[in-house]
Chain A
Amino acid sequence: MSGWWNALADPNTQWIMLGSMLLGLCSGVIGSFAYLRKQSLMGDVLSHAALPGVCIAFMLTGTKSLWQFLIGAAIAGILATFGIGWITRHSRIKQDAALAIVLTVFFGAGIALLTQIQHNGNGNQSGLDKFLFGQAAAMVPTDVRAVAVVTIVLVGLCALLFKEFKLVSFDPGFARGLGYPVVFLEQLLMFLAVVTVVAGIQAVGVVLMASLLITPAVSARYWSDKLNVMVALAGTFGAVSGLIGTMISAGGNHLPTGPLSVLSATALFLVSVLFAPRRGMLSVALARLAARNRIKRETAATWVERKEEAV
């Protein structure tokens, strides 16, 4: 226990903790909309597609800058979504297969580029290989500040455009009928997801980023039937996952923060599935049991009545 407190007192760990929590918050909020728009897998595609984008951005500039990575990842993400759209429109292939094709192609290209960069070895590339699984411990205050800016912009946009995002997620056809720029709003949601992925690449890595986008959102859906509560909860779950992940990691067992955050998010999900009121498995089972007992009692009561009538 004292080991934890010592580790947490370390300003370095505090920065990492703050970064992980902000990242969890972002991904929970934007993930809620992705989940409700049935775009859960899109987070996976965007994060895997980000890898070649980031690699090319690095190869062109030779520096590791979040903003350049963002541009590279955004372009790759847009190409990936267009690719999926093109395949589904111009062939008999359905969306799930198109997602699988595009995801793997981009990821394969990313790995090839990553290997190429490492072999060239211009000395600046160290840490780039961490983009696969992330390394939260490598976060420095400037990185955390960048994540903070991303969080403020993203949460601010979601608050401002809450009504618009809600309608586009629930009924895009109706939104278009009202004259909403539905395509723009959908692209904006997609872009915000790309931004979150890029912000999270360093800490969690492209492979695990999809988990942080979707798991807190799915967990939050178990606890609330109101969108605003669900989004807030998803953000909280994400932040708590980041917090727990960092705490366990800082406990001194040298386990990586990103994967631990993902595991924490999954633990929260399991708790939600089992114990959430009304929708959770336990409460569903209890409700069924109560209903069955009531029916039994009622049936027994009618039997007794009939017997009495017969007598």
Chain B
Amino acid sequence: MAYAPLRIEHMTVAYQQKPVLRNVSLEVPEGKLIGIVGPNGAGKSTLIKATLGLVPPLSGKVEIYGKPYDKQRHLVGYVPQRESVDWDFPTDALDVVMMGRYGKLGWFRRPGAEDKKAALQCLAQVGMAEYANRQISQLSGGQQQRVFLARALAQDASLYFMDEPFAGVDAATEKAIIGLLNELKTQGKTVLGVHHDLSTVRDYFDWVLLLNVEVIAAGPTSQVFTAENLQRTYGGRLAMLERDSTSVLIANRR
């Protein structure tokens, strides 16, 4: 029997005393683009971080393709939030992408010519080949995001976690990223991404996870991404307009 790329059972995470995630259980299908959607403070990033062991969960179990994460690291790629690092670090784009190969290198070993070739290829895939030797602080926000994406590609994983891959990037970059995600999908890879723009969820994702501390709903976008479920996820903070049978959603600016 084929195992699901990701299975979470009864995961609870708390910072200090307050639970950020409560009793989250989830099983995602293979080869889909999955959007994690919910209001600020709903625990979207925390879900990714707890899955990857970056924050310790109070309870719960995570399985990647049927085994604990510790044994399956090589199958997992990770794109952190862009602001999580200092972009003035003395390194260039190629070097950052090369970091994606470190997991397979082992202790003391330096990345070699083969790793460099692979990293260059990943940069080319995100349309950044000509920026390989650019210092990372001299890249625009969108380019930095692409570098992070290329680093995840260099991990050559089967399951990808992306923390707000579209945050602060222009329309062209967003299009390039979504093109890349679809390419990953055709290769049978599974991508989970935190997403904020409700108006594009239907276009981008096959599957959605509506999250607000607890799992509100999870399933194929066409079934789960409904006005009623969104109201339950966002509480009363959402206004909705029905127009031409596609729902346009506007968050109330209160």
Enumerate chain A interface residues (CB-CB to B < 8 A): 36, 38, 160-164, 166-167, 169-171, 173-180, 221, 224-227, 229-230
Q: Quick one: given A164-B107, A224-B90, are A170 and B85 in contact (CB under 8 Å)?
A: yes
Residue pair A160, B108 in contact (C-beta under 8 Å):
yes
Taking a contact as CB atoms under 8 Å apart, the answer to whether A176 and B54 are in contact is yes
Asked if B90 and A226 make an inter-chain contact with CB atoms under 8 angstroms apart, the answer reads yes
Beta-carbon contacts under 8 Å, B94-127 to A:
95-96, 99, 102-103, 105, 107-111
Contact A167 B80 (CB under 8 A): no
Q: Do A226 and B70 touch (CB < 8 A)? A: no
State whether the Cβ of B66 lies closer than 8 Å to any Cβ in chain A: no
Chain A residues contacting B91 (CB-CB under 8 Å) are: 166, 170, 225-227
8 pairs across A/B with beta carbons < 8 Å?
A161-B108, A162-B110, A163-B110, A163-B111, A170-B85, A170-B89, A179-B73, A224-B90
Contact assessment for B84 and A36 in the assembled complex, using a CB-CB cutoff below 8 Å: no
How far, in Å, is A230 (CB) from chain B's closest CB?
Answer: 5
B37 at the interface (CB under 8 A from A): no
Nearest-CB residue, chain A, relative to B49: A173
Residues of A within 8 A of B151 (CB): 174
Chain B residues within an 8 Å CB radius of A225: 90-92, 135
B164 nearest CB across to chain A (Å): 14
Of chain A, the residue at the smallest CB distance from B161 is A177
With A163-B105, A174-B78, A178-B102 in contact, do A36 and B70 touch (Cβ < 8 Å)? no
User: CB of B76 within 8 A of chain A?
Assistant: yes
Closest to A164 in B: B107
A36 to B90, CA, bound (A): 9
Q: In the assembled complex, which residues on chain B have CB atoms less than 8 Å from the CB atom of A175?
A: 102
A174 vs B155: C-alpha distance in the bound complex, in angstroms? 11
Assess whether B244 is interfacial by the CB under 8 Å rule: no
B99 near A174: Cβ-Cβ < 8 Å: yes
Known: A177-B73, A178-B102, A180-B102. 12 other contacts (CB 8 A): A163-B102, A166-B99, A170-B85, A170-B99, A171-B85, A173-B49, A173-B80, A176-B53, A179-B103, A225-B92, A227-B95, A230-B90
A29 to chain B, nearest CB (A): 14
A156 nearest CB across to chain B (Å): 11
Q: Closest B-chain residue to A221, C-beta based?
A: B90
A236 CA to B110 CA, complexed, in Å: 23
What is the bound-complex CA distance between A230 and B92, given in angstroms? Answer: 13
C-alpha spacing A175/B107, complex, angstroms: 13
B53-65 toward A: CB 8 Å interface, digit per residue (1/0)? Answer: 1100000000000
Alpha-carbon separation in the docked complex, A161 to B95 (Å) = 16
Q: How far is the CA of A170 from the CA of B90 in the complex (A)?
A: 9
Q: What chain A residues lie within 8 Å of B89 (beta carbons)?
A: 36, 169-170, 227
Q: Which residues of B contact A221 (CB under 8 A)?
A: 90
Bound state CA distance, A226 and B135, in angstroms?
Answer: 8
B86 at the binding interface (Cβ < 8 Å): yes
Contact B70–A179 (Cβ < 8 Å): yes
CA–CA, A36 to B89, complex, Å?
7
Shortest distance from the beta carbon of B131 to any chain A beta carbon, whole Å: 14
Asked whether, in the complex, the Cβ of B84 is within 8 Å of the Cβ of A178, the reply is: no
- State whether the Cβ of B139 lies closer than 8 Å to any Cβ in chain A: no
Which chain A residues lie closer than 8 Å to B49 at the CB level? 173
Contact B99–A177 (Cβ < 8 Å): no
Whole-angstrom distance between the Cβ of A39 and the nearest chain B Cβ: 12
A278's closest neighbor in chain B, by CB? Answer: B135
- Using Cβ atoms and an 8 Å threshold, which residues of chain B touch A178? 73, 102-103
CA distance in complex: A176, B111 (Å): 19
Q: Does B132 contact A (CB under 8 A)?
A: no
Which residues of A are found within 8 Å of B227, using beta-carbon distances?
none
Chain A residue numbers with a CB within 8 Å of B107 are 161, 164
User: For residue A169, which residues in chain B have a CB less than 8 angstroms away from its CB?
Assistant: 89
Contact A171 B110 (CB under 8 A): no
Interfacial chain B residues near A161, Cβ < 8 Å: 107-108
Residue of B nearest to A159 (CB): B108
Most chain B CB within a 10 A radius of its CB, from A169, A179, A229: A179
Closest-CB distance, B160 to chain A (whole angstroms):
11
Chain B, range 135-152, C-beta contacts under 8 Å to A: 135, 151
Evaluate whether A173 and B84 lie within 8 angstroms (CB atoms) in the complex, with A161-B108, A163-B110, A178-B73 already known.
yes
Q: In the complex the two chains form, is A174's CB within 8 Å of B90's CB?
A: no
A177 close to B102 (CB less than 8 A): no
On chain B, the residues within 8 Å of A179 by CB distance are 70, 73, 103
B52 at the interface (CB under 8 A from A): yes
Contact A177 B86 (CB under 8 A): no
Contact indicator B53/A174 (Cβ below 8 Å) = no
For window 13-60 of B, CB contacts with A under 8 Å fall at 49, 52-54
Q: How far apart sit A170 and B86, CA to CA, in the bound complex (Å)?
A: 7
